[in-house]
Structure 1
Amino acid sequence: MKINGITDIFFDLDHTLWDFDKNSALAFQKIFNTHNIDVDIHDFLKVYEPINLSYWKLYREDQIDKESLRYRRLKESFDAINAIIHDDIINQLAIDYIVSLPTFNHLFDGTFDLLNYLQPHYKMHIITNGFQEAQDKKMEQSKISKYFKTVTNSELAGVKKPNPIIFDYAINKAEADKSKSLMIGDNLEADVLGALNFGMDAICFNYHGLKIDSSIKQVTNLMDLKAFL
């Protein structure tokens, strides 16, 4: 079912175009090797990934700051696998992780095909809760910056998705009309419900196969978006 009248498409970045989990695993392997951290990477990632998501939820809700997020997600993950890592090492790992993460450039399958398909017909933009210094590098290194007219991050807007202020900020920056705009992202709360509550249409990139309300538009593969656009 085609969505008519759309002029501007706003994408989330992490977990939507940029394959966060794959790139994160590679970054952790690199910094663990550098610091001689003797833990099984698979055991670590198994606990880290849900812990990281829980801390990002706290960060979105302004219950923790950036520094706490970076430290506590690592500390709690090491504790969960009974790895004794001193705080000074955890703090250095947190720094090195942010530096290393954008050097890996895996995108979800179909990203370039989709962007090339959409570019002649729509203006495209990014709305991300990620940290500005990392997000800019991710887009540059993965060679997708050229597709997007504007990039809005939560540090610029002063609030995080799903707060309507960040969507309003992005719409104004893009000089777009929210009634003619579409949000595409993986996070039901932050991306999809945030956009819908603001008055934008939205599609969930439900690659993780979560059970969501059938009234919400969703795809499990990026190229399936062509059915809507």
Structure 2
Amino acid sequence: MADYDTVLLDLDGTLCEYVRTKNDLLAAAFGELGVEPPFSARDYVERVDLYADRADSMVERRRLCFAELAEENGHDPDIGRAAADVYARERDHSNVRFLDGASEALAALRERYPLGLVTNGGPDMQDQKIDGLGVREHFETVVYAGHDTPAKPDPAPFERALSDLGSNAERSIYVGNNYESDVVGAANAGLASILVGEPPVDGSVDPLATVDSPADVPRLLE
């Protein structure tokens, strides 16, 4: 493998995961209000991004989404907004954890490379994960794609991180778990990538390598 002098990383599904699922959080949020969840996590996920042009933050998008989904299913929209607030509170620092081997891998990479974090999602959503994991000091830059720049797979967030680090694409590599956002996105910016997981058989771009776990990344780059 070629020598690299900069490593950029994804966050969700690459370094960490939620302890509780979205359905668990919905049950907790509506349960506190004495109401059975009137919609599923899938309903929420499929709808929430449609509110991007009506709200600047994920918190407000979620409140709009919960209100309209609640109303569509026979409840007062205020119940939806209240549940969204409880949902946000329940999704606190204790609800995120490292993937197996990710903490050790991150520490090993930090000893050898300047690191940048490139994650889809604004500070309101991602900061609680970064700070809950205690990893902010590991990164010399954090780019909130979809907030600071267009979201991945647009090349802009990768280019922003490289500019912040004074690095170039040819000497940098990106590690992520989502083929479209991470592998294709990195390629759009001229970066090689390591995919945590397996690429689709008909993918348009090949990652430089694939790994089963973030724990494998430092050894791969040796």
Q: Per the shorter chain, which TM-score range?
A: 0.7 to 0.9
Aligned to 1:94: 84
SS at match of 1:19: strand
- Measure, in 1, the Cα distance between the counterparts of 2:172 and 2:47: 29
CA gap 1:24/1:16 in 2 versus in 1, 3 angstroms: farther
Aligned to 1:185: 176
Q: 1:38 aligns with which of 36, 39, 53?
A: 36
1:1-229 maps to which residues of 2 (within 5 A)?
3-20=1-18, 22=20, 24=22, 27-39=25-37, 44-45=40-41, 47-48=42-43, 52=45, 54=46, 66=57, 69-71=61-63, 74=66, 84-103=74-93, 104-154=95-145, 156-206=147-197, 211-212=200-201, 213=203, 215-216=206-207, 217-229=209-221
CA gap 1:31/1:127 in 2 versus in 1, 3 angstroms: same
Q: Tell me the CA shift for residue 210 of structure 1.
A: 6.2
CA gap 1:20/1:57 in 2 versus in 1, 3 angstroms: farther
Gaps of 5+ in 2: none
Counterpart of 2:97, as a letter, is: H
CA gap 1:219/1:149 in 2 versus in 1, 3 angstroms: same
Contact 2:67/2:81 (8 A) holds in 1: no
Counterpart of 2:200, as a letter, is: K
CA gap 1:21/1:87 in 2 versus in 1, 3 angstroms: farther
Contact 2:48/2:65 (8 A) holds in 1: no
CA gap 1:29/1:146 in 2 versus in 1, 3 angstroms: farther
Contact 1:130/1:154 (8 A) holds in 2: yes
Counterpart of 1:105, as a letter, is: V
Q: Which has the higher helix share?
A: 1
- Measure, in 1, the Cα distance between the counterparts of 2:156 and 2:115: 19
Percent pairwise identity: 22
Q: Tell me the CA shift for residue 129 of structure 1.
A: 1.5
SS at match of 2:96: coil
Counterpart of 1:98, as a letter, is: A
Q: Tell me how large the CA RMSD over aligned residues is.
A: 3.2
- Measure, in 1, the Cα distance between the counterparts of 2:193 and 2:63: 33
Contact 2:120/2:152 (8 A) holds in 1: yes
- Measure, in 2, the Cα distance between the counterparts of 1:85 and 1:181: 51
**For this pair of structures, how many residues does the alignment match?**
215
CA gap 1:189/1:130 in 2 versus in 1, 3 angstroms: same
SS at match of 1:202: strand
Contact 1:114/1:222 (8 A) holds in 2: yes
Q: Tell me the CA shift for residue 4 of structure 1.
A: 2.6
SS at match of 1:10: strand
Gaps of 5+ in 1: none
CA gap 1:58/1:180 in 2 versus in 1, 3 angstroms: farther
Instruction: List per-residue Cα deviations over 1:111-142 (Å, max 9, x = no partner).
Output: 11111221211111111121212311211112
